[in-house]
């Protein structure tokens, strides 16, 4: 080994969970080193700044690493396309900043229906709520308080983003039907915070925000973590997590710029490499005493992968809605059908999220559902009728955590450092198929109530008729109640290796019917506070951790 260094806590991954963990630990004076296999992304290099940004988001800046193929990426094999990013900020570098919370019912789905391996979370919404609030304050959430369909939330840093004509149009449709709806929470500044400017409604949030209004962790958490003294090492691809005497001792990483290997030794290791990268690294870390990979004595590492079930519904109206203006994520949501109703023929529920459109090229190329403008004669007539007359409704369903939906290792394919890549398998469960079909009907009902609708199109079940788009990668190392039903306890501490923690979306026990980033970061903040309070105990612990003997705050 060329070099080695020592730290109190080693964090692997500089994305949503790793950034929150690094900052919160260093607030308490803990010495932290973070390893990130990507690099910093300059704001001017985001696809937002390209003249042909609507095309670049499909090619050079594709959300799927198999298309993008940057050297810091690793490809995946299998039947699903997880959409993820490597770099300081992780996948928050290309998210839109949607910021809903899970609801109290989401933490007890094992009790509610118990299907297909579903278990209750080992914590409740009430346990997590204080950490939601801490995280909201860190990122600067835009919010309108008072939603009658959710528990009370604190005031946002700024007011909710403006819904524009699209929001007003679809809001009238929900009102006509007597359905719940509310302006969406977003991690987008509507007033300045620190050195970040407020949103100027320029659109295309998924292409990166040159104003730093979107709370990607490179501009929200990391400046504070670095000011605290966190040692962030970029282009550092972890090869294996090391152990001795039943405890993690650190990690060996490859410097992608030189190829040299180095070791970081740590008293505690925190893995936050996303729901594909985390199980991959645990499985690649098979060693003496852990023949099937770390934290995997029960065979659950990589299992219960969730993506959400989806359908994208495009509607065009007879009046201009100017959806290309304003922030890109949902401007409002309806959770009228969020809770399980067995009479519908399925368990779980869904959110209807009302979104906006992109620019002229996107409109001509089919918007979200392939409604492509004809080439030649008729193009101008089609374009004039469709551009800026559009509203998007996402049907976002909670998919079941099925054990056979999973991440394994494919030794036949390697990344740019020669490490085997993850194989991703996902099949949409029949329950989730029925849920989305029913949700499509409700989306159309809402649009027609808002109407008149002059045209409509849908992506179909699962987004394209197969596995749903892997925007929201969850599960694979879930927290639970016993060493038999999960990978970690309620403090994100692995059952098998007591000083190894997992704090990304892989730890989410169920996926709910909302975007997961707010929840995974709240979980990471909670785990960080636990590590600070119990640091001496954790660093000397050799027995299997227990939920019962870990005191609540």
> Are the C-beta atoms of residues 379 and 325 closer than 8 Å to each other?
no
| pLDDT one-digit tens code per residue, 12-64 | 999 999 999 999 999 999 999 999 999 999 877 887 777 777 877 777 788 89
Phi, psi of 221, deg, nearest 5: -85, -40
What pLDDT shows up at residue 416?
A: 95
Among 204-208, 367-371, 426-430, the range of highest mean pLDDT: 426-430
Least confident of 58-67, 211-220, 317-326, 333-342: 58-67
CA distance 392 to 443: 10
SS3 90: helix
**Residue 424: per-residue pLDDT:** 97
Q: Quick check: 464 pLDDT over 70?
A: no
**441-456 pLDDT per residue, tens:** 999 999 999 999 999 9
* Residue 549 confidence (pLDDT): 55
Write the pLDDT tens digit of every residue in 331-384. Answer: 999 999 999 999 999 999 999 999 887 788 888 988 888 899 999 999 999 999
Q: CA 134, 27, 525, 230: dihedral to nearest 10 degrees?
A: 130
Task: Give the pair of three-digit tokens for residue 405.
Answer: 């939906």
Residue 67's φ and ψ, nearest 5 degrees, are: -90, -45
What are the Cα distances from residue 466, in Å, to 310, 311, 513?
A: 11, 11, 19
Q: How many whole angstroms separate alpha carbon 361 and alpha carbon 54?
A: 6
User: What are the extents of the domains in the chain?
Assistant: 3-540
> Quick check: pTM over 0.95?
yes
Report the C-alpha gap between 484 and 224 in whole angstroms: 38
Q: Which helix (H) or strand (E) holds 280?
A: helix 274-284
Choices 2.60.40.420, 3.50.50.60, 3.30.70.2190, 3.40.50.300: CATH for 3-540: 3.50.50.60
Which candidate, 459, 398, 465, places its Cα nearest to that of 432? 398
Angle subtended by helix axes 16-27 and 517-533, to nearest 10: 30
CB of 494 within 8 A of CB of 455? no
What's the N-to-C CA distance of the chain in angstroms? 41
- Smallest CA-to-CA distance from 399 within 424, 436, 352 is with 436
- Tokens for 340, please give them: 């399980």
The Cα 80–Cα 429 span in angstroms is: 14
The string of DSSP codes covering 247-277 is EEEEEEEEETTT--EEEEEEEEEEE-SHHHH
To 5 degrees, how large is the angle CA 211–CA 216–CA 222?
A: 100
Spatial separation of the C-alpha atoms in residues 145 and 155, rounded to whole Å: 6
* pLDDT reported for residue 272: 98
Per-residue pLDDT, averaged over 511-527, amounts to 98
pLDDT band at 548 (very low <50, low <70, confident <90, very high): low
Q: With bands split at pLDDT 50, 70 and 90, how would you rate the model's confidence at 540?
A: confident
Contact 346, 435 (CB under 8 A): yes
pLDDT in tens, 257-314: 999 999 999 999 999 999 999 999 999 999 999 999 999 999 999 999 999 999 999 9
If DSSP codes are grouped into helix, strand and coil, which group holds residue 264?
strand
Cα–Cα dist 277/290, whole Å: 18
DSSP string, 202-219: ---GGG--TT--B--TTT
Confidence of residue 129 (pLDDT cuts 50, 70, 90): very high
pLDDT score of 334: 98
Q: Which band of pLDDT confidence, cut at 50, 70 and 90, is reported for residue 486? A: very high
| Dist CA 421 CA 393 (whole Å) | 35
Answer whether the bond into residue 149 is a cis peptide, omega within 30°: no
Please, is 496 exposed, middle or buried when counting C-beta atoms within 10 Å of its C-beta (0-12, 13-18, 19+)? buried
What is the C-alpha separation between 339 and 349, in angstroms, rounded? Answer: 5
Instruction: Report the mean per-residue pLDDT for the chain.
Output: 93
* Tokens matching residue 506: 């892989």
Largest pairwise CA distance in the chain: 75
- The answer, yes or no, to whether the previous bond of 159 is cis (omega within 30 of 0) is no
Of how many residues is the chain composed? 553
Please tell me the distance from the alpha carbon of residue 213 to that of residue 209, in angstroms, as a whole number.
Answer: 6
Asked whether the beta carbons of 125 and 107 are under 8 A apart, the reply is yes
> Got the DSSP string for 115-172?
-TT----SS-HHHHHHHHHHHHHHHT-B-----TTS---PPPSBPPPP-HHHHHHHHH
What is the per-residue pLDDT across 81-124, written as a single tens digit (0 to 9) for each? 899 999 999 999 989 899 999 999 999 999 999 898 899 999 99
Both tokens of 209, joined, read 């925000």
CA angle 312/314/316 to nearest 5° reads 170
477 pLDDT above the threshold of 90: yes
CB atoms within 10 A of CB 501: 29
Q: Are 28 and 287 in contact (CB under 8 A)?
A: no
Place of tokens 């999960």: 486
Residue 518, CA atoms < 13 Å, CB-side half-sphere: 29
**Which is higher by pLDDT, 273 or 551?**
273
How many CB atoms are closer than 10 A to CB 137? 13
């Amino acid at each position: 080994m060329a070099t080695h260094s020592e730290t109190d806590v080693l964090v692997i991954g500089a994305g949503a969970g790793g950034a929150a963990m690094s900052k919160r630990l260093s607030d308490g004076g803990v010495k932290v080193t973070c390893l990130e296999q990507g690099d910093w992304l300059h704001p001017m290099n985001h696809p937002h700044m390209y003249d042909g940004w609507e095309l670049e988001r499909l090619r050079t800046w594709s959300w799927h690493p198999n298309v993008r193929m940057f050297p810091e990426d690793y490809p995946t094999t299998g039947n699903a396309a997880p959409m993820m990013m490597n770099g300081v900020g992780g996948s928050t570098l290309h998210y839109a900043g949607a910021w809903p919370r899970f609801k109290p019912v989401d933490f007890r789905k094992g009790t509610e229906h118990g299907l297909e391996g579903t278990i209750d979370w080992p914590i409740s919404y009430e346990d997590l709520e204080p950490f939601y609030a801490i995280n909201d304050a860190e990122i600067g959430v835009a919010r309108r308080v008072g939603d009658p369909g959710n528990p009370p939330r604190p005031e946002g840093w700024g007011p909710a983003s403006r819904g524009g004509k699209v929001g007003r149009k679809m809001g009238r449709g929900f009102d006509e039907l007597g359905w719940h709806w509310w302006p969406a929470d977003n991690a987008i500044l509507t007033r300045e915070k620190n050195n970040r400017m407020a949103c100027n409604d320029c659109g295309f949030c998924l292409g990166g925000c040159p104003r730093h209004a979107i709370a990607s962790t490179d501009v929200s958490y990391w400046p504070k973590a670095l000011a605290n003294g966190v040692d962030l090492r970029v282009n550092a691809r972890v090869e294996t997590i090391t152990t001795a005497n039943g405890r993690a001792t650190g990690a060996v990483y490859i410097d992608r710029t030189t190829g040299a290997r180095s070791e970081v030794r740590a008293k505690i290791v925190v893995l936050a490499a996303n729901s594909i990268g985390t199980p991959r690294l645990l499985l690649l870390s098979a060693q003496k005493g852990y023949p099937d990979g770390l934290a995997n004595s029960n065979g659950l590492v990589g299992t219960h992968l969730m993506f959400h079930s989806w359908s994208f519904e495009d509607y065009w109206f007879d009046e201009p809605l100017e959806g290309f203006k304003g922030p890109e994520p949902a401007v409002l949501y309806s959770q009228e059908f969020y809770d399980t109703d067995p009479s519908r023929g399925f368990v779980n529920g869904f959110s209807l999220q009302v979104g906006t459109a992109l620019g002229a090229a996107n409109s001509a190329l089919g918007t979200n559902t392939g409604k492509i403008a004809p080439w030649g004669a008729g193009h101008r007539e089609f374009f004039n009728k469709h551009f800026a007359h559009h509203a998007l409704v996402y049907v976002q369903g909670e998919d079941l955590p099925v054990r056979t939906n999973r991440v394994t290792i494919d030794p036949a394919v390697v990344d740019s450092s020669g490490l085997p890549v993850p194989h991703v398998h996902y099949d949409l469960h029949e329950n989730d198929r029925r849920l989305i079909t029913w949700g499509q009907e409700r989306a159309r009902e809402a649009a027609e109530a808002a109407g008149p609708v002059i045209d409509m199109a849908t992506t179909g079940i699962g987004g394209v008729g197969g596995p749903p788009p892997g925007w929201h990668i969850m599960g694979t190392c879930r927290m639970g109640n016993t060493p038999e039903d999960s990978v970690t306890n309620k403090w994100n501490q692995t059952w098998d290796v007591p000083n190894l923690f997992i704090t990304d979306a892989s730890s989410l026990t169920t996926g709910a019917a909302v975007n997961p980033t707010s929840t995974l970061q709240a979980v990471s903040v909670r785990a960080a506070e636990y590590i600070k309070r119990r640091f001496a105990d954790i660093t000397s612990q050799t027995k299997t951790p227990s939920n019962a003997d870990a005191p609540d705050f």
